[in-house]
Amino acid sequence: MSDSRTPAQIEADIIRRRGQLAVTLDEIGVRVHPRTIVGDAKAKVASTVDQTAGRAFVAVNRTVSDVRAQFVGDDGSPRLGRVVPVALVAVGVVGLLVLTTRRRRG
């Protein structure tokens, strides 16, 4: 294999490759620096938390909408056939708790 480049061309190529190598080594140095690693880890955790919180918000919002649809009609009026029985059960449970608490104290 013959190289038809002149010594000046070879030297210029070596200088260019040294510059490229220096840039590559600088990039590697930044990537493996502890601050960079910690910063990347923090960013990843923050992203995961944001995604999880977003999913949780959507799930809660969907559940609240589903429950609301059970007790409120399309026109915004309460569905008394469902609201009244639930309210009576809630009053009964609160009443039992009050009676139980009074009996324990007395």
Per residue in 29-69, pLDDT (tens digit) is 999 999 999 999 999 999 999 999 999 999 999 999 999 99
Question: Tens digits of per-residue pLDDT, 65-102?
Answer: 999 999 998 898 998 998 899 999 999 999 999 999 98
pLDDT the model gives residue 74: 87
Q: What's the pLDDT at 106?
A: 65
pLDDT of 103 reads 85
The angle at the Cα of 19, spanning 18 to 21, to the nearest 5 degrees, equals: 65
H-only helix segments in the chain: 7-32, 34-71, 80-105
Does this model's pTM top 0.85?
Answer: no
